[in-house]
Structure 1
Amino acid sequence: MISRRHVLALMAGTLVARPSFAAYSQSDFVNTISPTAPLPPVDERLPKVPRVLKLSEMGLEPGRHGGTFRMLIGGQRDIRYMPIFSYSRLIGYNRHLTVEPDILEAFEVDNERVFTFHLREGHRWSDGSPFTTEDFRYVWEDVFHVKDLARGGPPATLLINGKAPRFEVIDALTVRYSWDEPNPDFLADQASPSPTRLMFPSAYLKQFHAKYQTKALLDQYIAKYRVQDWAALHQTQSRTVRPENPDLPTLDAWRNRTQPPAEQFIFERNPYYHRVDEQGRQLPYVDRIVLGVSSAELISAKTGTGESDLQMTNLDFADYTYLKNAEQRYPITVNLWKRTQGSRMALMPNLNCKDEVWRKLFQDVRVRRALSLAINRAEINKAVFYGLAKESANSVLPESPLFKPDYRDAWAGFEPDRANALLDEAGLPVDEETGLRRLPDGRPATIIVEITGEYSFETDVLELLADHWRQIGIKIFVHVAQRELLRRRVKSGDTIMSVSAGLDNGVPTPDMSPKELAPTSDDQMQWPLWGLHSLSVGHDGHPPDLAEAQQLLAFMKDWRNALDTAQRAEIWHKMLSLYTDQVFTIGIVNSTLQPVVHSRRLKNIPAEALYGFDPTSYLGVYLPDTFWYEGGA
């Protein structure tokens, strides 16, 4: 939890003298990085106060340097997993989902309004250039406030009621962000899988910026990289979410050395990385990660034949039996981690769809509850998830301190008679000839459910669900659309119901933002226009016209203004109670299992863990820089 007392304690514990090791040590691989111009000694490459990971206190084994591990990706775009896995953050979560300084040496928080960040003296980017407050100033002044690069100004994640923070450079190692109103999820955003980027390697990127570069040279770069203008040039060269530019300095454990397009991408150790283990060994332990591009459909088969040393992407529970059998033939270990989504698959009735009849019906809670009560989750669990999942509404998991059985069970029982009664009350009579219900305009009650087709289990679930809903007079058709097209159709109102995962973060603490429970983003497929209205601070979309959705937004505002963790927990419970009782999304099962496969020689990989995008950043909170090979590289 983001406790103010905890943060101040971290401050007191981190502003200390340089750790006293007999000597720092490094991987022999560092000597091969720049053979013609040797790098400085390791103690000169580390910050004055590096981050020390006390592995033995975490139940991990201090390791040894060396080796390469291979991973498989389903396309070149999937190199985007690397900054998520590496999980170097200004402030990050640990395994207990509490925040602590990482890239920062320390931070201070004053009434959730003023955030002061202290950098590590002597910290450097992977190219050796100093990491200082100039890198923050550059983003604030020369990116966020330059219309060519940020037409709308600072990103929405930094706006509180439409107002950006005040930014100050206190000195070469200290910056401050201040808001007039509380911003309690600022730290959680910085600890997230894809945080708002507050700093760039300015010494490198200034060569692509019109303020610092001549027009003649910019025109040469524009021609070389085949982009339209200098803004597009800066954007492509500074992209960190998908690290395609091998020359872009990073603070992550590994840096890309391969220019796309390519059939494999090599990420090698960052010689200026800021973490060390308790014995003074500079991390990461493993020298290189090789990402092999493969057909997504073949990744499970290749993993089972030992072609990957660490694999979890493009695997699903349906692959488990095959992979477990492969343990007998190849030196791999197959573990099962618990997925953190509020529902492995949820039905998203579009409360903002263009079809006026269905829009009004979906905004009637009796219809949403009826659709949920008509689902035989136990049958789906047994047939599709081998009975290992947990039947549940789309809500938080037992691993969250906010969990209550009432949220899990809300309108999630199998009660077709009650479902039929609710649909009768909602004015949907049954046509005796067809057995289907009739809509108020006379049409038969048929729903087109749109999916991406990326997961075979979705089709299996919908086949069973079609039988369940047929018992209450509702017929469904399944339509497959490419992911981006489907999202556009949902946002435009052309889709009346879609399928997606449930809550991204099913294991929240009270100090994590409850924004997923309220209309706050146009990516929320159940109410995209309401979410867009909130995201754009009223400039686009339209406000909710349901009192319960309005109440969720009011609770969200209360959470932002809460004074402590106890108050935030109370508001979370109000929101969870309302959200699950109103069945805005229809969850089916959660706590499903994710195969994680690794070489038998790789150490420090948990046998059991939580797996998800947010808040664990997949592997991120489990510190992949501490994974190491037993028996030598």
Structure 2
Amino acid sequence: MINRRTILGLTASAFIPGRLLAADREPAFFKTQLKFEKLPALADRLPKTPRIVNLSAKGRQPGRHGGTVRTLIGSQKDIRLMTIYGYTRLVGYDEKLNMIPDILESYEVRDERIFTFTIRDGHKWSDGTPLTPEDFRYCLEDVWLNDELSPGGPITALRVDGKPPRFEIIDPLTVRYSWDAPNPDFLPKLAAAQALMLVLPAAYLKQFHKKYQDPFRLAGLMKEYQARKWTWLHIRMSRQYRPENPDLPTLDPWRNTTRPPAGQFVFERNPYFHRIDENGLQLPYIDRFVLNISSSEIIAAKTGAGESDLQCFGIDFSDYTFLKDAEKRYPIKVHLWKRTQGARVALLPNLNCADPVWQSLLHDVRMRRALSLAIDRREINKAVFYGLATESADTVLPESPLYRPEFAEAWIAHDPEKANALLDEMGLDTRDDDGLRLLPDGRSAQIIVETAGESTLETDVLELVTDHWRQIGIALFIRPSQRDVFRSRAMAGQIMMSIWSGIDNGVPTADMSPDQLAPTADEQLQWPLWGVHYISHGKIGEAPDMPKVIELMSLLKRWRRSTTSQERAAIWTSMLGIYTDQVFSIGIVNATHQPVISSAKLRNLPDNGLYGFDPTSYLGIYMPDTFWLGGEA
């Protein structure tokens, strides 16, 4: 049986009369460039079949061009938020998490292993150069398959049985990727917040590539940009996710115009952006985003003082009361969205902890279950989240079709008696004079929980857990550190346990990868060495040695070979069952609220939404290119 699905984009000719692309639809932002013919007219900048966003059908208002939106970021690297918010992808999710073509006009999938992509005729990069199959070929063959630029080879989403895809250029608008076995993770990775890189502006980047550039000229460019190797130069100039190179052509709604280092980054509208509204106005509506770097500790205070027109980064639910009060003094509006993580806060036992005694104890499921049962989640919910959160294990939310109550309820009942019994059963039944259990080597049972030092909310939770664990004879100590140090210490096995959020995607469908439930990345703090072993294809790190973790890896491999949504849903259910029953992450609460602050003049920002990195790309699926600035609120 052939499994085949074809997804077509909407064509402009079906909805947009040619008159709607007339000069009176031009953004005033481009008036000078158009006057001096430095920019072609709108009809020549758009693809022949632009993507049409019918705002009225979404219950929103078609808008008008113009204006600047200010937002605050914590450091230069956070300009990546513009790539996430802009959410321009070959294929992407809509607000109901259905996958649709975006940059692509259409795509076709056969047997989950043959993917045919059709480019929009006339689509252009932000510098006006055409988007062509050569941009796809260059990215795969000259970057991913170049041993110097990608010494480890293509990432996992581009490999099936260790092999990269076969690539074909079918015609001037069509490319095809194919493997011998299914690759159901391919499209979801293209739709991700940090998307799989599959297309690059070849005409621009070839000047930095050894294969295409004269050696003498390449050496000059390396000297000019202070790069010791040509590969470093190419990587720096081609970085799309963190767009620090203002000269790099983009397909996003706004392009960076500021060269780092800087305290302020200005993103201006892309004159060749491929989306229009139902009235023929080219998106985005907003002309300019200004990102001001601020100390992370005072972003909430500055937001409350009216210094940001759109803010969700750097603020938390603990700031809600202050921000709500600020509505009385400044023209801002506070929205509350639901966070999509499987757990807003979770305790992550490091199963790769270098301390052999603690590693052995943490590998015992009875220890993980006991620590979970000892926590009074209701007290934490009331004290820290005003009772508005949901007490839950680290698992998917009810908004996901994969949700099961038994997963959410796994080992979360506050039962210190059962927790004590489990620890006694492990042989930890002797206590010191302070009432702490003694470890097999005679030490008192003391768990150091490390934080990235970025959230007072996490500290508030840990102070309550300290009291809960003391009742079962275990002391908890908090150690804050900086995020970069925090992650490197975890990789080195120097962290015993950490506090972080739970699984990133708490609203998955069966067609989204369950790789977050198995060790597949080095940033997974409960098993970083197993994660880096996976992404390095066994070159570094360690292979998992716990039977249940090995089973998760086996199920993930089966998911990657699956060809139907039904089969994938069954695998998801098995993996969620194991993950929650084994308490690989000690979830505390989920379904918490995230303040999203906007200028009172900002239109089309939903009052309610799902807020998370994947799959919603924070604001991304709600299309900030359709936000616009109205008159007085």
The bucket for the TM-score relative to the shorter chain is over 0.9
Name the CA distance, whole Å, in 2 between partners of 1:435 and 1:167: 65
Is residue 118 from structure 1 mapped to residue 118 from structure 2 by the alignment? yes
CA displacement 1:223-269 (0-9 Å, x = unmatched)? 22111121111111111111111111100000011111222111111
CA displacement 1:140-159 (0-9 Å, x = unmatched)? 12112222211122223312
1:261-280 equivalences under 5 Å are 261-280=261-280
CA displacement 1:493-530 (0-9 Å, x = unmatched)? 12111111100001111111111111222221111222
- Secondary structure of the residue aligned to 2:140 is helix
Corresponding residue for 1:11?
8
1:389-408 equivalences under 5 Å are 389-408=389-408
1:206-245 equivalences under 5 Å are 206-245=206-245
Number of matched residues? 629
Distance 1:34 1:244, change over 3 A: farther
Corresponding residue for 2:553?
553
* Higher mean C-alpha deviation, range 497-506 or range 14-23: 14-23
Name the CA distance, whole Å, in 1 between partners of 2:548 and 2:265: 48
- Cα distance, 1:459 vs. partner? 1.1
1:91-110 equivalences under 5 Å are 91-110=91-110
Q: Among residues 20, 23, 26, which one is paired with 1:23 in the alignment?
A: 20
Corresponding residue for 1:430?
430
Corresponding residue for 2:42?
42
What amino acid is the match of 2:178? Answer: S
- Cα distance, 1:36 vs. partner? 4.2
Residue ranges of structure 1 left out of the alignment (5+ in a row)? none
- Secondary structure of the residue aligned to 1:22 is helix
Corresponding residue for 2:373?
373
Name the CA distance, whole Å, in 1 between partners of 2:593 and 2:336: 6
CA displacement 1:339-391 (0-9 Å, x = unmatched)? 10111111111111111111111111111100000001111111111111111
- Secondary structure of the residue aligned to 2:28 is coil
Name the CA distance, whole Å, in 1 between partners of 2:122 and 2:534: 41
Corresponding residue for 1:204?
204
Distance 1:330 1:110, change over 3 A: same
What amino acid is the match of 1:146? Answer: N
Name the CA distance, whole Å, in 2 between partners of 1:13 and 1:28: 27
CA displacement 1:62-82 (0-9 Å, x = unmatched)? 111111111111122211111
Name the CA distance, whole Å, in 1 between partners of 2:277 and 2:478: 52
What amino acid is the match of 1:168? Answer: E
Name the CA distance, whole Å, in 2 between partners of 1:145 and 1:537: 16
CA displacement 1:56-99 (0-9 Å, x = unmatched)? 11111111111111111112221111100000000000000010
Name the CA distance, whole Å, in 1 between partners of 2:477 and 2:9: 60
Name the CA distance, whole Å, in 2 between partners of 1:17 and 1:398: 37
- Secondary structure of the residue aligned to 2:450 is strand
Identity %: 58
Name the CA distance, whole Å, in 2 between partners of 1:405 and 1:16: 47
CA displacement 1:101-150 (0-9 Å, x = unmatched)? 00000000011101111100100000000000110111112112222211
Is residue 482 from structure 1 mapped to residue 482 from structure 2 by the alignment? yes
Is residue 176 from structure 1 mapped to residue 176 from structure 2 by the alignment? yes
Is residue 416 from structure 1 mapped to residue 413 from structure 2 by the alignment? no
- Cα distance, 1:545 vs. partner? 1.7
- Cα distance, 1:16 vs. partner? 7.3
* Higher mean C-alpha deviation, range 531-540 or range 504-513: 531-540
Corresponding residue for 1:358?
358
- Give the TM-score taking structure 2 as reference length: 0.96
What amino acid is the match of 1:510? Answer: A
Name the CA distance, whole Å, in 1 between partners of 2:499 and 2:413: 20
8 Å CA contact retained: 2:27, 2:65: yes
Name the CA distance, whole Å, in 2 between partners of 1:617 and 1:483: 21
- Cα distance, 1:538 vs. partner? 3.1
Is residue 538 from structure 1 mapped to residue 538 from structure 2 by the alignment? yes
Corresponding residue for 1:569?
569
- Cα distance, 1:577 vs. partner? 1.0
- Secondary structure of the residue aligned to 1:552 is helix
Name the CA distance, whole Å, in 1 between partners of 2:561 and 2:36: 57
Corresponding residue for 2:461?
461
Corresponding residue for 1:383?
383
Name the CA distance, whole Å, in 2 between partners of 1:375 and 1:20: 62
Name the CA distance, whole Å, in 2 between partners of 1:324 and 1:410: 35
Corresponding residue for 2:585?
585
8 Å CA contact retained: 2:375, 2:468: yes
8 Å CA contact retained: 1:377, 1:589: yes
- Cα distance, 1:537 vs. partner? 2.9
Corresponding residue for 2:32?
32
What amino acid is the match of 1:530? Answer: W
Name the CA distance, whole Å, in 1 between partners of 2:439 and 2:278: 67
CA displacement 1:1-37 (0-9 Å, x = unmatched)? xx977x52x3386597794342212211122357644
8 Å CA contact retained: 1:18, 1:48: no
8 Å CA contact retained: 2:299, 2:314: yes
8 Å CA contact retained: 2:12, 2:51: no
Name the CA distance, whole Å, in 2 between partners of 1:612 and 1:403: 17
Distance 1:15 1:180, change over 3 A: farther
What amino acid is the match of 2:75? Answer: G
- Secondary structure of the residue aligned to 2:234 is helix
- Secondary structure of the residue aligned to 1:360 is helix
CA displacement 1:146-177 (0-9 Å, x = unmatched)? 22211122223312232211111222211111
Corresponding residue for 1:82?
82
Name the CA distance, whole Å, in 2 between partners of 1:563 and 1:231: 38
Name the CA distance, whole Å, in 1 between partners of 2:299 and 2:493: 35
Distance 1:246 1:32, change over 3 A: farther
8 Å CA contact retained: 2:9, 2:100: no
8 Å CA contact retained: 1:559, 1:571: yes
Name the CA distance, whole Å, in 2 between partners of 1:32 and 1:433: 80
8 Å CA contact retained: 1:21, 1:279: no
1:584-623 equivalences under 5 Å are 584-623=584-623
What amino acid is the match of 1:506? Answer: G
Name the CA distance, whole Å, in 2 between partners of 1:36 and 1:16: 30
Corresponding residue for 1:156?
156
* Higher mean C-alpha deviation, range 467-476 or range 483-492: 483-492
- Secondary structure of the residue aligned to 1:105 is strand
Name the CA distance, whole Å, in 2 between partners of 1:629 and 1:579: 45
What amino acid is the match of 1:343? Answer: A
Residue ranges of structure 2 left out of the alignment (5+ in a row)? none
Distance 1:16 1:365, change over 3 A: farther
Is residue 525 from structure 1 mapped to residue 547 from structure 2 by the alignment? no
- Cα distance, 1:578 vs. partner? 1.1
Name the CA distance, whole Å, in 1 between partners of 2:179 and 2:256: 36
- Secondary structure of the residue aligned to 1:335 is strand
